[in-house]
Structure 1
Amino acid sequence: MTSSIDAAAPSRRTRARRVKLPPAWAIAVSLLFALLCVVNLLPVIWGILTSLKSQEDLFRYPPTLLDFTPTLENYERVITSGFLGTLQVTILYACGTVLATLALALPAAYAFDRFEFPLRSTLLLLVVASIPLSLGAAALLIPNYIFFTRLGLTNAWFTLPLIYTANQLPMAIWIVKGTLETIPRELDEAALIDGSDHFGILWRIILPLSRPALGAAGVLAFVGSWNEFVVSSVMVDNPALRPVQPAIYNFIGYFGREWGPLTAAAMMGIVPILLIFILLGRQIVSGLTRGSVKG
């Protein structure tokens, strides 16, 4: 069975043809991508430099970009404010969301792809229609707030992961289902003949072959829960349970913005996301594009 799985996986890999552009178009495309990189990197560079400036350098006139003495006092202030604990809480929220999302998305995608049951098309349509709602979680903020408030769960540790999982689940199901469509059903039939049940098929065949899609869905769920701001700001008012994004916003005071600590906290908050995309960038692309290639 293992050899059949290994033999089936490479057969579905197709190498995309590279389109050779004329020299003028190639230069124009390269310049466009270079411009986009500069536009996207400028805020990050500005944030790093600002986080390393003292209060005197921040409000110096005329302002300077590089002519200043770097200091870590803003990072020290952020750390002493308890921001490291906030990072730990947010990591727990994000990891819990990823685990719950993948644990529900894989069997759901398997059921949609492999079985015929009443209302299958209707339920699948609801999943697809829920994807825009998951991208804009604030649309469901009021009903979620009323529901969890009546249950007295607005400050429970599992409230945010539960909401995040519900928001990320439709997209995860859709990504995983696209990959399952490329896995030959003959593997399922061979496993059934060998005496396996559907749980065994899901665990021994579907899970190994769908790891790229699960990785992509997991990364998207992690990033989505990490970057969420509106729901966490409303549903949680306990400082010990507050995630990163509302905690960064706290550095905007009543009498103005504390740019040094604000940018230092923001830089610390984006480090996990940058590491994920640097280390798992190729897996994300593979998981998102694998289901679009059949054969």
Structure 2
Amino acid sequence: MEDLRIKMSANSVATARLSAGHERVLPSRRRALPLVGGIIIAALFSLLMILNLLPLVWGMLTSLKAEPDLFRFPPVIFDFAPTLDNYKRVIESGFLGNMQASLIYCVITVVSALALALPAAYAFDRFNFPFRQPLFLLIVASIPLSLGAAALLIPNYLYFTKLGLTNAWFTLPLIYTAHQLPMAIWIIKGTLEGIPKELDEAAIADGASHFGILRHIILPLSRPALGAAGVLVFVGSWNEFVASSVMVDSPALRPIQPAIYNFIGFFGREWGPLTASAMLAIIPILITFALLGRLIVSGLTKGSVKG
């Protein structure tokens, strides 16, 4: 019954806003781009695409070369006999187990970060409490943690060792969640700022609790932001290297990035297995962006324009 009241109140507020003319469809005001400008922009974007794809193509070709072809001079691009020996060696080394461990860590991190970020963003956007603004500024200042915090590695290692939390299946998800949470809160809060507070007021007038509002109104309307935050949290956790190379040392718990580093041996880099493992490591990232990359744009821009 409470769900029905919340939905009815949300629909009534939306209808009132439309009838009052608060949400208007503005006519498009696009200016025609000159032909020369269009050609220049297309050329620049093509050049940028080539520069980004060139290392990927070179790494893929290198991963298919046998050892004699790797050290030929001048280097060959297509004039070689492709082989899958490098991929076979990588798979036999247990690399797929490292990929599975990384996937488990990333899924746990995404679920944990979103479950904590949504109510936190809702509280920062809808409630007034002491030190609200300084706390949110602290969260924004902590966003660079999503890129990995090498400066925090030593204190984290000391604390985790003292508490007996190192070398366990939950060690890296705890660290990843702490690193990615500020960015997730910031993204979701930007979307919540574009959701009218009249929906909350109408639902409260009908007897809904804040948990009901969060579940039945905020959650459905913030799905693009949740998707964008989830994608970025997944990519940041998947690519993390510093903490994952120190906090766990068990081969069964080792994630994918330190596993790639194992092919940089004492006697030099093993370019064939190294590039083959790197090509396998980017497959989940490519799949994630192919399926959910659209959510990044919609989730980051949904709260930028308010009606």
Q: Shift of residue 136 of structure 1?
A: 4.0
Task: Judge which range, 198-207 or 113-122, deviates more.
Answer: 113-122
SS at 2:208's partner residue? coil
Deviation at 1:132, TM superposition (A): 2.4
Match of 2:231, SS state, is: helix
* Equivalent residue number for residue 97 of structure 1: 109
1:18 positional shift: 4.1
Distance (Å, rounded) in 2 between the aligned partners of 1:14 and 1:151: 58
Q: Which residue of 2 aligns with 1:195?
A: 207
Taking the TM superposition and a 5 Å limit, the aligned residue runs for 1:1-295 are 1-2=6-7, 5=10, 8=14, 11=23, 18-295=30-307
Is contact 1:78-1:261 (8 Å) kept? Answer: yes
Q: Is the 8 A contact 2:9 2:203 kept in 1?
A: no
**What is the CA–CA distance in structure 2 between the aligned matches of 1:36 and 1:205, rounded to whole Å?**
41
Shift, 1:14, TM fit: 7.4
TM-score, scaled relative to structure 1: 0.94
C-alpha distance in 1 between matches for 2:209 and 2:113: 24
Any unmatched runs of 5+ in structure 2? Answer: 1-5
- The gaps in structure 1 that reach 5 residues or longer are none
Q: Note if contact 2:148-2:240 (Cα within 8 Å) is conserved in structure 1.
A: no
Partners of 1:15 and 1:236 in 2: how far apart?
57
Matches of 1:247 and 1:18 in 2, distance apart? 50
Instruction: Tell me: CA distance 1:254–1:215, structure 2 relative to 1, closer, same or farther (3 Å).
Output: same
Name the Cα RMSD after superposition.
Answer: 2.0
C-alpha deviations, 1:193-221, integer Å up to 9, x for none? 22210001000100000000000001100
> Separation in 1 of the partners of 2:27 and 2:44?
26
Shift of 1:5: 4.7
**Alpha-carbon distance, 1:278 to partner:** 1.1
Aligned-residue identity in percent:
71
Conservation of the 8 A alpha-carbon contact between 2:160 and 2:166: yes
Q: Answer whether contact 1:175 1:291 (CA < 8 A) is retained.
A: no
Deviation at 1:68, TM superposition (A): 1.0
> Measured at CA, do residues 65 and 145 of structure 1 come closer, stay the same or move farther in structure 2, by a change above 3 Å?
same
In 2: Cα distance, 1:123 partner to 1:226 partner: 28
